[in-house]
Structure 1
């Protein structure tokens, strides 16, 4: 038999034994904890580290079982120093365990140990967790959680756990667990190895910016015995699979903590990690190759045959008739579709916006309970629209927080969100009824994560780029001198759609009067805010309009320093880091216009006025203008910020950072009024 393993660059049939980056050897077993472990020295550990992962070691190997199949055996051991109480969340661990319909399909959680180490009177004291203190909690119909909390933790404790998970190969489709070399705390040593029988071809997919300390590959002769139990009248047989298995090791020393920065879609996209995709199986030289990675047409075809989607797309849901008749008794097709959407949105409560593409409960149960995951709710919406005769299909996507998917590969477990795609005449609408303040044909920002896939016999790939969205805002300010000597102003803002949505959500949990008090605090004490009005608040399909009055009290000062941008000034650069290794991913393009028309306060003259300016970002990717004039009695200002794209490469980061730095500096400039004597 030939050994076959496919590397990221499509190199196959390779048998080598070397260390690509150094001659450092893998760790086979953790050494006993010493006093030095409580004060680790590493270039990636600083005073800001709340915890330090001293070692994180995992492996996946295969073994034959008694059910005529392989078992995937995943082992891990993790040792962490809890520097202070801010890291105590690390002392509670949750391990997902998948369950099937029978005992042979369930994962096994074995060989568990958890120990806390403390230094007392100069000696290391161990406190072991009782194995009975591991709790089993139901998460959903396919997953349970093993949960445990370390005992006797203190600031400065070291906690260590290890466990084994055994997974039936066929039930889990040969899924080798991903491995993360990096996390929110610095990791002094992270190591992962796989030992793969020669009959399997896997694609490892590597991600991240850190170099491997160890990246080695070699062949090891292995023999696997699989017992086929046979049928009712058949005796069991032993199947022997022998050949050169592939032993692959990766390790990274001193991985820095991955710090989240502004405008990052998901840390999942940039952690240094490795994933595995089972490509094919070839049992022998003479047997045909079994392709595991199917086409999108084949994969979605199987989804449509599943009971979940049959219940949604078949036209037999007569229990929907009564509500549909009441909701859609009159109106055009567009008006009826809007009414169905509003009915689901306003009557169903979303319990989880991070789900899967499957129903958590049967469709009818979800419908009458009036609650469920985002997928549950949007499949109810799809079922109602379908039953009403509309051309509608479910669409699956991965949210920004969940990470990007591999578009070319049909891997359903990468998707965590389902919406509906409705066609009326020649127009398509993407619908999400899981947010109470989201309008018809609108999606939350989190859904725009490169692409989505239609669940149909022809599974079309939809573009879902944030570069396709623009958030527009217009603020107009008029400030005049009253006959009674007061200086008053009126401000009107046409908010962008997403700012409007989030404001509506905010007002859903508090009174308008409470919001007004908080909003008034934005202004300095010499400016009083009055008469706040929010227009179109109930109409979630449209952006909000906000207007209010201000009263300016200059206290008869000899010199007045006045920022003409008022509350709309950008006061802080969102890009504080000096450098950035991964892209900037904004939720949308921006078009923000601020206009001021102001009478100069009576008895004053302009002593200093900011200069007008106009700058471009990388020629045509953005623009900032600050145009101000003074005709003797009146000041006019127009400030405009335009971003023509939402995503910027790391190479563009410095330019973008300088662009916003310039805006912050310019928005901080003030008009100086001097009293006329």
Structure 2
């Protein structure tokens, strides 16, 4: 028995050793790999990366110029037609510096199994493209040939960059599984970099000293096997915030016979560099282009509050956003003002300049949109958005004139992302909590009656506050009333709407209020001499939005909210209440959420008051089981029926 156990241990040891010593090389495609019809771990995967290997090295020329060279190798397996898109690959590179970056693809081959043999099809020149994205970036693309289900694709590319200040982000995780990732980075002894790895996967990290050429280097080795696909889930805005990514940022330079240079920046350094730019700070100084208009529009304003409202509305309605983000101007504020269109920086720097000229204490506020991600450490690319911050007492009122649905004090949801920084001319900056926003309410009042056929007729009033009003204006502000009513009737099956009216759709400082009459045929079931009624009517939550057993990532509710429903139902003549559900109060752990359900029978009326409070932007993944159970109990309570019986 002991002998057999020893043999088993030796076999397992050999297997493990072979697994970790396996060579990952381009050109080594086997018939077994091509025959594989599904991924061994994730059978739902349409494709997988069999390996991704990269190496970053530094090269010094005779003129003392450094070049960062990164070579990356990929090997893909296509399992399903849905994975054909992975035959098209692209790499962006920077062309806005004193020396352009360059990208070159090579070793691009598609492998297929044809009549039991491995068939190779090389990428030809007509399958490679170059496109200019803008004045700063270009992209090289390849479209692999002869791709079908079962194909294996291999390619490599080399990126040469003169910019040592940062090394391109390295992704250990993609939207498809990756069997093996390895990344080697060689850092010359003269440079020190700050690094950070985001995400939830455990990366094996080692380092060693090596000597090549005329200087020592530190070699960093990053490895991981069997990386699961990063899959989008409900209630997540930017999945990259939770993806395993390695970031490098230059901290210091120490070259012999030269003064040491500390490149590591703090947030004040980042802010100062932005403010000192001619495409930022200099633009704020310009005012001649709007002076006459400003005098005219604020001429009758009696106080600062009126001035702020007038100037904000003027800029918001005069200049249209061209769809471009950024903290720097492209064509300049003067041209944007004249042409009545501009990027985020142009519009909001005009707003700041006009407010300053009117005597308002205001400064630019830098932030990163949700799509841009969360800044993990101070760096040049941390921010991609700028708004105006009016300073009052111990608070800062934020204004963004790029969006015509946002009132004063409310940013577009894309810009509500953790922290921002208010910047001042004297070079200082302060952190601002962008998540400090008011609750957004959805208040519904219904007065209705049930007839003997089980049909419900009633009137409804709905009041939306803060972001609920914003979303309504964003989604339906330009939709015709008939189209909107059709959308409502499709959303709430069995409802027919008439006498619809909406107030304050264009008045951003006021709540959007809807009123309408309705007929409902879908919430009452008649069986014999009894009626079974869903008292929440068409607002009943019928299924739990959280279905998976586990969740790695936080749940993003966009904003804290409070939904309240007050419903009064008149019982039809000849019927009486036989049963009403019991009251219920649910409290989620850490008070992330509250659900209150109160119902009573008063004379010929059923009175229902239901409220749901979500008190946090983000609910952490370790609270997910409690969140799922909270919604499960809420769905179960809402499924309970009121029972009416004929007298």
2:624 equivalent among 647, 653, 671? 653
Cα deviation digits, residues 359-386 of structure 1 (max 9, x gap): 2333333333333332333223223334
Structure 1: how far apart are the matches of 2:139 and 2:349? 26
Shift of 1:486: 7.8
**Mapped partners of 1:368, 1:659: distance in 2:** 54
TM-score by length of 2: 0.89
Secondary structure (helix, strand or coil) at the match of 1:184 reads coil
Which position in structure 2 is the counterpart of 1:53?
49
Report if aligned partners of 2:184, 2:222 keep a CA contact under 8 Å in 1. yes
Deviations 1:186-220 (A, max 9, x none): 111122110111121122212222223x4322111
| Counterpart in the other structure of 2:355 | 385
Q: 2:480 aligns with which of 511, 518, 536?
A: 511
Q: Does 1:140 align with 2:134?
A: yes
Deviates more, 1:387-396 or 1:606-615: 387-396
| Aligned match for 1:546, one of 489, 508, 514 | 514
2: distance between equivalents of 1:161 and 1:341?
A: 52
SS of the residue corresponding to residue 243 of structure 2 reads: coil
1:10-25 matches, within 5 Å, as 24-25=20-21
Distance 1:658 1:340 in 2: 48
Q: In structure 2, do the counterparts of structure 1 residues 522 and 257 end up closer, same or farther at CA, with 3 Å as the change threshold?
A: same
**Alpha-carbon distance in structure 1 between the residues aligned to 2:357 and 2:120:** 63
**Which protein, 1 or 2, shows the higher relative CO under an 8 Å CA cutoff with sep ≥ 6?**
1
Counterparts of 1:560-599 in structure 2 under 5 Å?
560-599=531-570
Deviation per CA, 1:463-483: give whole Å up to 9, x if none: 335364411121111113689
Supply the distance in 2 between the matched residues of 1:394 and 1:283 (Cα, whole angstroms). Answer: 37
Matching residue of 1:78:
74
Indicate conservation of the 8 Å contact 1:466/1:589, yes or no.
no
How much has 1:536 moved relative to structure 2? 0.9
2:273 is aligned with 1:302: yes
Q: What is the deviation of 1:621?
A: 3.5
Pair 1:41–1:597, CA change in 2 (3 A): closer
Alignment CA distance shift 1:66-1:96 (3 Å): farther
Q: Does 1:249 align with 2:221?
A: yes
Structure 1 CA distance, aligned partners of 2:208 and 2:412? 47
Instruction: Check if 1:268 corresponds to 2:271.
Output: no
CA distance in 2, matches of 1:467, 1:122: 63
Partner Cα distance (1:100, 1:486) in 2: 67
Greater mean deviation of Cα atoms: 421-430 or 179-188: 421-430
Name the residue aligned to 2:25.
Answer: 29
Structure 2: which 5+ runs fail to align?
1-16
Mapping for residues 446-457 of structure 1, pairs under 5 Å: 446-456=414-424, 457=426
Question: Residues 586 and 458 from structure 1, CA distance in 2 versus in 1: closer, same or farther, beyond 3 angstroms?
Answer: farther
1:283 corresponds to which residue?
Answer: 255
- Taking structure 1 as reference, are residues 490 and 404 closer, same or farther at Cα in structure 2, changes over 3 Å only? same
Cα distance in structure 2, aligned partners of 1:274 and 1:139: 25
Partner of 2:145: 151
| Equivalent in the alignment of 1:219 | 209
Change (3 A) 1:152 1:387: farther
Segments of structure 1 that go 5 or more residues without pairing to the other structure are 1-20, 224-240
Whether the 8 Å CA contact 1:477–1:491 is kept in 2: the answer is yes
2:105 and 2:155 in contact (8 A); partners too: no
SS where residue 68 of structure 1 aligns? coil
Identify the match of residue 192 of structure 2 among 198, 201, 204.
Answer: 201
Match of 2:432 among 455, 460, 463: 463
TM-fit CA distance, 1:658: 0.8
Per-residue deviation, residues 118-161 of structure 1 (Å, max 9, x unmatched): 33333333333333543332323222222333333334433333
Task: Report the CA distance between 1:29 and its aligned residue.
Answer: 3.0
Q: Shift in Å at residue 389 of structure 1?
A: 4.3
Residues 500-521 of structure 1 deviation map (CA, whole Å, 9 limit, x = unaligned): 2222222244311111012023
1:339 match: 310
Mapped to 1, the partners of 2:423 and 2:22 lie a distance apart of 44
Q: Distance in 1 between matches of 2:38 and 2:520?
A: 57
- The Cα of 1:544 is off from its aligned counterpart by 0.8
User: Displacement, 1:484?
Assistant: 13
1:231 alignment partner in structure 2: none
- Find the counterpart in structure 2 of residue 473 from structure 1: 442
1:605 equivalent in alignment to 2:596 = no
Distance 1:482 1:26, change over 3 A: closer
Aligned length: 625
Normalising by structure 1, what TM-score? 0.85
Q: Shift of the alpha carbon at 1:26?
A: 8.1
- For 2:452 and 2:549, the matched residues in 1 are separated by 52
Q: Which residue of 1 aligns with 2:11?
A: none
Alignment of 1:391-540 (within 5 A): 391-406=361-376, 409-423=377-391, 428-456=396-424, 457-466=426-435, 468-480=437-449, 488-525=457-494, 527-540=495-508
> What SS does the aligned partner of 1:178 have?
strand
Write the distance in 1 (CA, Å) between the matches of 2:27 and 2:127. 26
Cα deviation, 1:267-325, whole Å, max 9, x if unaligned, reads 222111211122212224x76532111233333223222111133221x3312234434
The range that moved more, 113-122 or 258-267, is 113-122
Distance apart, 1:642 and its partner CA:
1.7
Tell me the equivalent position of 1:8. Answer: none
1:68 to 64, 67, 91: 64
Q: 1:117 to 1:435 in 2, by over 3 A?
A: farther
The SS at the match of 1:517 is helix
Distance in 1 between the 2:542 and 2:428 partners?
A: 46
> Alpha carbons of 1:293 and 1:495: their partners in 2 closer, same or farther (altered >3 Å)?
same
Question: Whole-Å Cα distance in 2 between the matches of residues 381 and 345 of structure 1?
Answer: 9
Alignment of 1:368 with 2:351, yes or no, is: no
**Counterparts of 2:159 and 2:73 in 1: how far apart (Å)?**
12
Aligned pair partner of 2:287 in 317, 332, 340:
317
Q: CA RMSD in A?
A: 2.8
